């Protein structure tokens, strides 16, 4: 969880959010959000998705699975599939 709290704090600061503003954006109490940054608790999957969306970063980056801050996959509307007849 150490990676999550560090990256969460850095991303929040890079985007110019205060802890209060980001906690309101993802609909959690300020104290709960502060615990995320302190590494005392981990956000639920629902909140993790909201955090990634609000900060415009990938969940994999937030949790330390990837060092790319942005998702490396194409959005659904850019994926072209070939149909086999």
Right CATH number for 2-63 from 3.40.309.10, 3.40.50.970, 3.90.1150.10, 1.10.260.40?
1.10.260.40
Counting beta carbons within 10 angstroms of the beta carbon of residue 13, is it exposed (0 to 12), middle (13 to 18) or buried (19 or more)?
exposed
Q: What are the tokens at 25? A: 């954006």
Q: What are the tokens at 38? A: 């302190």
**Does residue 47 register a pLDDT over 50?**
yes
For residue 47, give the nearest of 60, 33, 31 by alpha carbon.
33
pTM value is 0.77
In eight-state DSSP terms, residue 61 is: H
- Chain centroid, CA 29 distance in Å: 17
Residue of higher predicted confidence among 78 and 5 = 5
Domain boundaries in the chain? Answer: 2-63
pLDDT digits (tens, 9 = 90+) for 19-41: 999 999 999 999 999 999 999 99
């Amino acid at each position: 969880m150490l990676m999550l709290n560090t990256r969460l704090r850095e991303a929040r600061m890079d985007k110019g959010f205060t802890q209060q503003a980001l906690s309101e954006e993802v609909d959690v109490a300020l104290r709960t959000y502060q615990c995320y940054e302190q590494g005392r608790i981990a956000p639920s999957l629902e909140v993790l998705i909201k955090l990634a969306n609000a900060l415009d970063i990938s969940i994999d980056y937030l949790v330390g699975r990837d060092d790319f801050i942005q998702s490396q996959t194409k959005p659904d509307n850019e994926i072209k599939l070939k149909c086999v007849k």
